[in-house]
C-alpha cells in the first residue's frame, strides 16, 4: 500500500523553540540571524549586549553582504567570501545566492569551483561535509552516525578522481559535492539541513598533492579493484540503513569507476550519476532546442563526439534514446548516427587492442581515422560535441570543414572549466560568420559578430539534476531511471522560448531555475506515479505539491525552549 504523502520541506513561520543561549546561538550557522534578532529575541535568548543595538531586516543584511562582495575582483576571493558567509549564517547565504543567481552560480560552481578544489587544502576553514577513508573500513556506519541530521534527503559523493577537466584532486575534490548541493538548494529548494556532501578518500595519484605539506587527504596511492568496491559497498549499506529514503548522487568518478558504480547500484538503491545521466539530459535538451532553430529532427543529424568517456557516452545514450523515441527506432539503429573520437582517433571495431566496455556500442565498422579534422571531412557532421577535457580541439579548420557541409553547424564545447573548453563562443561564431549554434559547459559572455549579438547557451547540468533530485525525493521514488532524465530533457527543451531561439540561445534563462526545476520535478513525479515507482500516494495537484516541498530561505521567529 502506498504511504500517505509525508515529505514536506517546511517553510513555517511559526516560532522555533531554541535551547541554546548567547554565543552558542551566534556561533551556530543554522540558528544565527546576526543583526536580525529582534529586541524580544535578544532578551529571551541571552543575546543582549552581544550584538549592535540596531535590529536589521534580511534585506539590509543582503545589502551589506553585496557591498562587501562588490569590493572583490578575484573569483576565488569571492568564492571564499561566500563560503565564509555560509559558515556564519546559512539562511542569509542562500538568500544572497537566490537574489544573485546568475552572477554567483559561476562563483559557487563551474568554473570557479575547479580552482577552489585545486586550492582546497590551502583555503580550508571549517567542516562542510563528511570524509570517508580506508581507515574507516569496518565502521562506516559508526562514522556516519556522527552526522547530526536525523533526516538526509540527498548525498552527493565523489572520490575526487576526475574533478571537472582537472583530473585527480583527491580529497580536494570535496568542493564538488559541496557546490552541487548548494545548487540543489538554490535551484530546486532542497532543504540545506537535509543534504550531505561526502568525499570518499581512497588516496590520490597526484604527485603534487602527495608532496603538498598542506594537503588534507590520505597520502597514499589510490586503491582499486575489490578493495575500492568493498568500501563503497559498506558506505552504501551504512547510508541507506541510517537514511532509508536517501538519494545518492555519484559525481566526478573516473570512467573506469563511474559506469560500474552506476550499474552496480542503480537497481538496488535510489541513485544516479550526474556526469553520465545529467550531462546526457542537458545535452539532449540543447540539441532538441537547436533542431527547433533549424526546423529539423534529431534523426536528421550526423553527430561526432570529441571524447569517449562517461560524459560523452552518457550524452550519446540520451541522444540515441531521443532519436529512437522520435522515430520508433531501436537504440542500435539510432547509434548509426553517432561517431566517437577518443585520444587514439575514431573508435572502430578494427582498432588494435580491446575497447573499454562503454565504448563498444559506439564502435564503427569502418576504416580508422587519426585526427578530428579527417573524421569531420569524412562524416560531414551536422553536430559536433566536445566532452574530452582537451582545450582548443575544435580548431578553425575543423569548424570551417563542418560548415562547408552544414550552413548552421551545431557546436557544443562542453568540457569544464572554461580553460578546458574545446573552443570559445567567440571563435565558433567568428569562424562561421555567426551561423553556428553554440553551447558550452562553462559560461561565455555574449558575442558581437557582423552587427549581431549572440548569447551563447550554457549546457549547465544545473538545469537538470536539481529538478530530477527534487522530483525523486518529493514522490518517494524507489529508483531513478534513465526515462526520468529523458523526461527532464524534453521538459527543459520546450521551456526555451522562441525569442531565446532567435537570439541563438538554446537554453532558458538561468534566472528561471526554480520554475524550471519545478516543471522537471513535477514531470519526474508524474512519471514515477504512472510507473508505480513512488512510495507516496499521488496528490490531487502534483505541481502545487512539489511547490510546497521547496525550501525558501527566510528567518523564523525564535522563542526560548
Per-residue pLDDT of 260-282, as tens digits, reads: 999 999 999 999 999 999 999 99
pLDDT band at 9 (very low <50, low <70, confident <90, very high): very low
What number is the average pLDDT over the span 163-192?
95
Residue 346 shares a structural domain with residue 249 = no
Residue 305 shares a structural domain with residue 438 = yes
Q: Read off the pLDDT of residues 67-98 as tens digits, 9 standing for 90 and up.
A: 999 999 999 999 999 999 999 999 999 999 99
What number is the average pLDDT over the span 457-461?
91
Q: CA dihedral defined by 165, 167, 173, 178, rounded to 10 degrees?
A: 20
Indicate the residue among 211, 246, 269 that finishes a domain.
269
Can you give the pLDDT at residue 164?
85
Can you give the pLDDT at residue 4?
46
What number is the average pLDDT over the span 213-235?
97
CATH number, domain of 378, equals 3.40.50.720
Residue 8: pLDDT over 70: no
Q: Does residue 56 belong to any structural domain of this protein?
A: no
Q: Does residue 419 belong to any structural domain of this protein?
A: yes
Q: Does residue 386 belong to any structural domain of this protein?
A: yes
Q: Does residue 534 belong to any structural domain of this protein?
A: yes
* Alpha helix ranges (H) inside 145-254: 175-188, 207-210, 225-242
Can you give the pLDDT at residue 518?
98
Residue 419 shares a structural domain with residue 326 = yes
Q: Which residues are within 8 A (CB) of 297 and not within 5 positions of it... i.e. 6 or more apart?
A: 291, 326, 327
Can you give the pLDDT at residue 10?
52
**To 5 degrees, how large is the angle CA 66–CA 71–CA 73?**
115
CA 550 from centre of chain: 18
Residue 223 shares a structural domain with residue 308 = no
Residue 198 shares a structural domain with residue 225 = yes
Which DSSP letter does residue 430 get?
A: H
Q: Does residue 439 belong to any structural domain of this protein?
A: yes
pLDDT band at 6 (very low <50, low <70, confident <90, very high): very low
Residue 5: pLDDT over 70: no
What number is the average pLDDT over the span 471-485?
96
Can you give the pLDDT at residue 330?
87
CB-CB contact of 162 with 443 (8 Å): no
Residue 374 shares a structural domain with residue 475 = no
Higher pLDDT, 331 or 43: 43
Q: Does residue 115 belong to any structural domain of this protein?
A: no
The number of distinct structural domains making up the chain is 3
Whole-number Å distance between alpha carbons of 231 and 137: 6
Whole-number Å distance between alpha carbons of 353 and 116: 38
Residue 189 shares a structural domain with residue 148 = yes
* Alpha helix ranges (H) inside 71-201: 75-88, 90-99, 101-108, 112-118, 120-123, 140-144, 175-188
Burial track 272-281 (b if 16+ CB lie within 10 A, e otherwise): bbbbbbbbbb
Residue 316: pLDDT over 50: yes
Can you give the pLDDT at residue 350?
87
Residue 539 shares a structural domain with residue 402 = no
Indicate the residue among 237, 252, 269 that finishes a domain.
269
Residue 193 shares a structural domain with residue 287 = no
Residue 430 shares a structural domain with residue 294 = yes
Indicate the residue among 426, 459, 492 that finishes a domain.
459
C-alpha cell, 127: 567542516
Q: Residues 69, 79, 109, 558: which is the catalytic one? A: 109
Percent of the chain with pLDDT over 70: 98
Q: Residues 33, 180, 257, 420: which is the catalytic one? A: 180
Can you give the pLDDT at residue 11?
66
Residue 144: pLDDT over 70: yes
CB-CB contact of 258 with 275 (8 Å): yes
* Cα-based distances in Å from 49 to 39, 42, 84, 442: 11, 9, 24, 47
- Tell me whether residue 78 is one of the annotated catalytic residues: no
Domain that holds residue 427: 277-459
Residue 178: pLDDT over 50: yes
CATH number, domain of 544, equals 3.40.50.10380
Residue 501 shares a structural domain with residue 533 = yes
- Tell me whether residue 180 is one of the annotated catalytic residues: yes
Can you give the pLDDT at residue 7?
46
Across the chain, what does the average pLDDT equal? 94
Can you give the pLDDT at residue 273?
97
Whole-number Å distance between alpha carbons of 515 and 511: 9
Name beta bridge partners: 258: none
Q: Is 138 left (phi over 0), alpha (psi -120 to 50) or beta?
A: left
What number is the average pLDDT over the span 321-325?
90
Residue 324 shares a structural domain with residue 438 = yes
Q: Does residue 233 belong to any structural domain of this protein?
A: yes
Burial track 522-551 (b if 16+ CB lie within 10 A, e otherwise): bbbbbbbbeeebbebeebeebeebbbbbbb
Q: Does residue 422 belong to any structural domain of this protein?
A: yes
Amino acid at each position: 500500500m502506498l504511504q500517505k504523502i509525508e515529505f514536506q520541506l517546511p517553510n513555517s513561520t511559526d516560532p522555533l523553540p531554541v535551547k541554546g543561549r548567547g554565543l552558542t546561538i551566534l556561533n551556530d550557522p543554522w540558528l544565527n540571524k546576526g543583526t536580525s534578532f529582534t529586541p524580544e529575541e535578544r532578551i529571551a535568548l541571552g543575546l543582549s549586549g552581544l550584538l549592535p543595538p540596531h535590529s536589521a531586516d534580511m534585506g539590509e543584511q543582503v545589502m551589506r553582504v553585496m557591498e562587501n562582495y562588490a569590493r572583490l575582483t578575484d573569483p576565488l576571493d569571492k568564492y571564499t567570501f561566500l563560503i565564509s558567509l555560509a559558515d556564519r549564517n546559512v539562511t542569509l547565504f542562500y538568500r544572497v545566492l537566490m537574489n544573485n543567481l546568475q552572477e554567483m552560480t559561476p562563483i559557487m560552481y563551474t568554473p570557479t569551483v575547479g580552482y577552489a578544489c585545486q586550492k582546497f587544502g590551502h583555503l580550508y576553514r571549517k567542516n562542510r561535509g563528511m570524509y570517508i577513508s580506508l581507515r574507516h573500513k569496518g565502521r562506516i556506519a559508526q562514522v556516519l552516525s556522527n552526522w547530526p541530521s536525523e533526516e538526509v534527503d540527498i548525498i552527493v559523493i565523489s572520490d575526487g578522481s576526475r574533478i571537472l577537466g582537472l583530473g585527480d584532486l583527491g580529497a580536494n575534490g570535496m568542493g564538488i559535492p559541496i557546490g552541487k548541493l548548494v545548487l540543489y538548494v538554490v535551484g530546486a529548494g532542497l532543504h540545506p539541513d537535509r543534504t550531505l556532501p561526502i568525499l570518499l578518500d581512497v588516496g590520490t595519484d597526484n604527485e603534487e598533492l602527495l608532496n603538498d605539506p598542506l594537503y588534507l587527504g590520505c597520502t597514499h596511492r589510490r586503491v582499486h579493484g575489490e578493495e575500492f568496491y568493498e568500501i563503497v559497498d559498506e558506505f552504501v549499506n551504512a547510508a541507506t540503513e541510517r537514511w532509508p529514503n536517501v538519494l545518492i548522487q555519484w559525481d566526478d568518478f573516473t570512467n573506469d569507476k563511474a559506469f560500474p558504480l552506476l550499474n552496480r547500484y542503480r537497481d538496488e538503491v535510489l541513485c544516479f550519476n550526474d556526469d553520465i545521466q545529467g550531462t546526457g539530459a542537458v545535452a539532449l535538451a540543447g540539441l532538441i532546442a537547436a533542431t527547433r532553430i533549424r526546423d529539423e529532427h534529431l534523426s536528421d543529424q550526423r553527430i561526432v563526439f570529441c571524447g569517449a568517456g562517461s560524459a560523452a557516452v552518457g550524452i550519446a545514450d540520451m541522444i540515441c534514446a531521443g532519436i529512437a523515441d522520435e522515430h520508433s527506432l531501436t537504440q542500435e539503429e539510432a547509434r548509426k548516427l553517432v561517431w566517437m573520437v577518443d585520444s587514439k582517433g575514431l573508435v572502430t571495431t578494427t582498432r588494435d587492442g580491446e575497447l573499454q566496455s562503454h565504448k563498444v556500442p559506439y564502435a564503427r565498422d569502418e576504416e580508422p581515422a587519426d585526427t578530428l579534422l579527417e573524421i569531420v571531412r569524412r562524416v560531414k557532421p551536422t553536430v559536433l560535441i566536445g566532452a574530452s577535457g582537451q582545450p582548443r580541439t575544435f580548431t578553425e579548420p575543423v569548424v570551417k570543414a563542418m560548415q562547408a557541409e552544414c550552413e548552421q553547424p551545431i557546436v557544443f564545447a562542453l568540457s569544464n572549466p572554461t580553460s578546458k573548453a574545446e573552443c570559445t563562443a567567440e571563435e565558433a561564431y567568428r569562424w562561421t560568420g555567426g551561423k553556428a549554434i553554440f553551447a558550452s559547459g562553462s559560461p561565455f559572455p555574449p558575442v558581437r559578430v557582423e552587427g549581431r549579438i549572440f548569447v551563447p547557451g550554457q549546457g549547465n547540468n544545473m538545469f537538470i539534476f536539481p529538478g530530477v533530485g527534487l522530483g525523486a525525493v518529493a514522490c518517494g521514488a524507489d529508483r531513478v531511471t534513465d526515462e526520468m532524465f529523458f523526461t527532464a530533457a524534453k521538459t527543459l527543451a520546450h521551456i526555451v522560448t522562441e525569442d531565446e531561439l532567435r537570439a541563438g540561445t538554446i537554453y532558458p534563462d538561468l534566472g528561471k531555475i526554480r520554475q524550471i526545476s519545478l516543471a522537471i520535478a513535477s514531470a519526474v513525479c508524474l512519471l514515477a506515479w504512472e510507473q508505480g515507482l513512488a512510495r507516496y500516494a499521488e496528490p490531487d495537484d502534483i505541481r502545487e505539491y512539489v511547490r510546497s516541498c521547496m525550501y525558501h530561505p527566510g528567518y523564523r521567529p525564535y522563542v526560548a525552549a
